[in-house]
Structure 1
């Protein structure tokens, strides 16, 4: 695996990837000096966002590609002074030194040279592997310190730092640390999982409980030259205020449109609710009419049944009289009538 292959990766610049978090520390529109960019994963994003980017890179496999992207390329070794001499008289708004200082024999000399290449209020953005990572310490407890093709023990790392030792080196070279951020990686997801699992639960608990940063795989540090650290903080605060105002303006625009849309929806909803109320009232009236009709129908049915019964009784009575007449006959009835007349 070549160096260019090891450090070639893609990431969502608007996501939560470590590279995206580092790039977000670069001020908008900044003129950027990037040290050791490798194949240019971050360089490509910076150029795409309109930054002017100058890179210092000595890997012949990637120098041509970096130039083709549109970056100004200084093909020099950072462990030597030619690159800083070539940049004399120039200054940048931001310097990116991401996963690079640990590869240098004298990173302090590089930081000293950079101090004069940053504009007043400018910044350096550093990412650095954390040698105090609990997974690495687990390996040390087992007597292991094995270099690998990549990771914390990348075989090209020649210097190792903790947060404290990095801060001391920065301040010794005239830089004021301003912002720290950790890249947390669960040890079970790291290259040290085997060593970690070999420890007893008590040993693992001790490593986790004795340091709040036990799972910080890398540190991000943003620093400004000590000479103008105070003004840099003011500038950073002003930039943050401008950014927040812009976000507020965008939110107002978005939510203003949403509010107008919501008002229209509320109006339509009110009209629909009134229509539903009218329909419900009409349904209730229809239901009342149906109930009244059913009541009347029951009353008429009952009255008709009574009349039908009375008529049936009358028919039965007449039928009985007719039967009697048939039995007695007309002569007998006439005799009774005559007898009654005589008396």
Structure 2
């Protein structure tokens, strides 16, 4: 789901967007929650923005898409494509006996009349140690609340109140839905987006400062535009949670070793620089001594000329005294 920018859009435009796979956008974060490799079932990919990135990364993609035009695009990307309505569940027959390492339902559940039926059916599609990755818009977003305060709940072509959204979720309601359908959500991540930059900017700006401060203070998730969660089969929840914790610990250890290596290299470089600076200081001091010796009593040729021009008689007398002193006369 893309943020609402206003204006009439085609179905392709509504769900076609660009993102940096290594960036901080929601699509990039979702893909980073996948296992390192394996078979992925993607529900409702639209024109395949995320699909292409996953294929480029080496995943084996199977998708279920209701729109024939989008399905043709995704098929052209190299994904196995099933054209079907998710809610009639007939597409499951084409996947009978097959299991996937990950299932993606990204910005999909809000478009379904009965998301619980799809979630229950997906259990047969996922490997015992696989993961279900879900994202949904957050109806508790501060922009929605600001609009409601002013009596507005207006559907739009895209965005959080997309006119094709049939169901709305908070983190709590999504969590309860997942538990009821046999899933254990063991990881949550918010996608925050400034209200003043969203489709609700006008409603937000119409509030008083006191109202905005009260809303932010009283609504813990008011800055969360979407929620992402990673779930597993409920019966395998504790084991997978432990496995994920071990993975995070291993990653932290790897990052620490990398930082230690960088520190050692930077420290060695710093010592080399300090040594070079010390040597340079010694050279400068020695050169200064030589300069001082050359300058003699008059501080160098430039100063000598200036003194001669200023007081020739006195300068010559001092020069004669210096010569007599040097020769021991």
- Tell me which interval the TM-score lies in, with the shorter structure as reference length: 0.7 to 0.9
| 1:199 match | 207
Relative distance call for 1:300 and 1:205 in structure 2 (3 A) is closer
**C-alpha contact 2:292 2:299 (8 A) present in aligned 1:** no
Distance 1:18 1:278 in 2: 62
Structure 2 residues without counterparts, runs of 5 or longer: 1-8, 305-314, 325-329
Using the TM superposition, give the Cα deviation of residue 234 of structure 1 relative to its aligned residue in structure 2, in angstroms.
2.1
1:10 counterpart SS class: coil
| 2:139 match | 131
* Structure 1 segment 47-86 matched on structure 2, within 5 A: 47-86=55-94
| 2:120 match | 112
Using the TM superposition, give the Cα deviation of residue 188 of structure 1 relative to its aligned residue in structure 2, in angstroms.
1.4
Distance 2:197 2:235 in 1: 41
Further displaced range: 72-81 or 285-294: 285-294
| 2:308 match | none
Residue 187 (structure 2) pairs with residue 179 (structure 1)? yes
**C-alpha contact 1:120 1:232 (8 A) present in aligned 2:** no
Q: Relative contact order, CA 8 A, sep 6+: which one is greater?
A: 2
Root-mean-square deviation (CA), in Å? Answer: 2.9
Using the TM superposition, give the Cα deviation of residue 246 of structure 1 relative to its aligned residue in structure 2, in angstroms.
4.3
Distance 2:63 2:263 in 1: 41
Structure 1 residues without counterparts, runs of 5 or longer: 305-343
Residue 36 (structure 2) pairs with residue 28 (structure 1)? yes
1:116 counterpart SS class: helix
1:112 counterpart SS class: helix
**C-alpha contact 2:45 2:64 (8 A) present in aligned 1:** yes
Distance 1:70 1:287 in 2: 82
Distance 1:142 1:292 in 2: 83
Distance 2:267 2:140 in 1: 51
Using the TM superposition, give the Cα deviation of residue 157 of structure 1 relative to its aligned residue in structure 2, in angstroms.
0.5
Distance 1:84 1:15 in 2: 34
Residue 166 (structure 2) pairs with residue 158 (structure 1)? yes
2:86 counterpart SS class: coil
2:177 counterpart SS class: helix
Residues paired across the two proteins, number: 304
